[in-house]
Amino acid sequence: MIFQAFFRSAMIIYFLTPGDDAVEIIGGKDVKPHSKPYMASIQLHRRHVCGGILIKPGWVLTAAHCNLKFKDQNIQVVLGTDSLSRDKDNSVQKLMVKQKFPHICFDSESREHDIMLLQLQTEAKLNKFVNVLPQPKNAWDVNDGTICTVVGWGKTNVKSNKLSDNLKEVNVTIINRAKCNSKNYYNNNPVITRNMLCAGDSKGGKDACQGDSGGPLICKNELRGIVSLEKNCGLRDKPGIYTRITNEYIKWIRKITD
C-alpha cells in the first residue's frame, strides 16, 4: 500500500512538472463542444499548421510568422469543428485562401508586428457551428494579473510532432512587460514591446505550444491577443508571448477588410 501511494504521488509529480515532459496547450482541457465557433484550423495538404480567428465571414486573423510556413502553397481554412480528425462532419466548412496580408513591418526575429489577415475565396456561412469573434472596438492594454484564455490544437509533447486532435483551452495570467523583460525571464531577448503581451503561470505548466500559433488570447470575453511565440512551452520563466491587439492593428484590419 505504501509503495502504491508513493508510485501514484511520483506519477502525479512527473506529469505536472512543466518543461519538456509536460507540453501541450499546457494544463488545458477540451473545450465545450462547438463553444468556440470562431476557431479556424489553417492547413497545408490537410495538415494543421496554425490556428486562426474568423473575424468576418470572409476573413481570418492569424500570426504573420505562419506565412513563413505557407510560402506560396495553397492554404485551406477549416471551420466548424473541435476535432482535426472529424473534418467530414456536417458542421465543417473548408474554404481556400484567396490572398494573404502579413503586416508589412513584421520582423521574424523580434516577432514585432506578428499579425496577418487571410482573405477567403468564398465567405463562410455563419451558423451555430461557425461564427465570428469580433475585433475589440477599443484597444485597452491588459493589466498585470488579468486572467485570460488561450485556445488551440497545439502539440502535446515538445519532443513530438503530434498535435492535439481536440481543441483545448487553458487560463493564463498576464505578466507585466518589465518583469517579462527582466533577466529572470526573457532578458530582453526578445524584447516584449507595447505591441505584445506576456502571459503564463507563476508555477509554470500553463501555456500555448507549437501548433497554437495564430490562435486567440481572450481576456474578459474579448479578443486581446494572438499566439506569437511558444517555443519554451510551459516553463515558468519563459511565458507565452502574444501579439497585442492595439489601436494601430485595429485600424490596419479595418483598412484591409472594409
Same domain, 59 and 186: no
Catalytic residue among 41, 48, 65, 164: 65
Same domain, 149 and 233: yes
Same domain, 158 and 58: no
| pLDDT per residue as tens digits for the range 162-219 | 889 999 999 999 999 999 999 999 999 999 999 999 999 988 878 888 899 999 999 9
Q: Is residue 123 in some structural domain? A: yes
Contact predicate 18/198, CB 8 Å: no
Indicate the pTM of the whole model. Answer: 0.88
Same domain, 140 and 229: yes
Give the residue, 47 or 7, on which the prediction is more confident: 47
Virtual CA dihedral for 81, 67, 176, 171, nearest 10 degrees? 10
Contact predicate 165/83, CB 8 Å: yes
Same domain, 142 and 241: yes
Residue 70: band (very low, low, confident or very high) from pLDDT cuts 50, 70, 90? confident
pLDDT at 130: 98
The mean pLDDT value of the chain amounts to: 87
pLDDT at 23: 33
114 is catalytic: yes
Same domain, 105 and 146: no
**Cβ atoms within 10 Å, residue 248:** 16
Contact predicate 51/218, CB 8 Å: no
Distance CA 88, CA 71 (A): 27
pLDDT at 88: 86
Q: Using the predicted structure, report yes or no on whether residue 72 has a pLDDT greater than 50.
A: yes
CATH number at residue 76: 2.40.10.10
Catalytic residue among 48, 103, 114, 228: 114
pLDDT at 158: 63
Cis peptide before 216 (omega within 30 of 0): no
113 is catalytic: no
Residue 62: CA atoms inside 13 Å, Cβ hemisphere, count? 33
What's the total number of domains in the chain? 2
Decide: residue 247, CB within 10 A, 0-12 exposed, 13-18 middle, 19+ buried.
exposed
Give the residue, 122 or 68, on which the prediction is more confident: 122
Residue 10: band (very low, low, confident or very high) from pLDDT cuts 50, 70, 90? very low
Q: Is residue 1 in some structural domain? A: no
Q: Using the predicted structure, report yes or no on whether residue 21 has a pLDDT greater than 50.
A: no
Same domain, 175 and 110: no
Catalytic residue among 48, 82, 212, 213: 213
Domain that holds residue 186: 135-245
C-alpha cell at 29: 482541457
Same domain, 150 and 180: yes
Task: Among 19-28, 133-142, 199-208, 216-225, name the one with the lowest average pLDDT.
Answer: 19-28
Neighbouring residues of 15: CB distance < 8 A, sequence distance ≥ 6: 21, 22
Same domain, 108 and 142: no
pLDDT at 25: 63
Which of 120, 121, 103 is CA-nearest to residue 67?
A: 103
For 5, the 3-state DSSP assignment is helix
Q: Using the predicted structure, report yes or no on whether residue 19 has a pLDDT greater than 60.
A: no
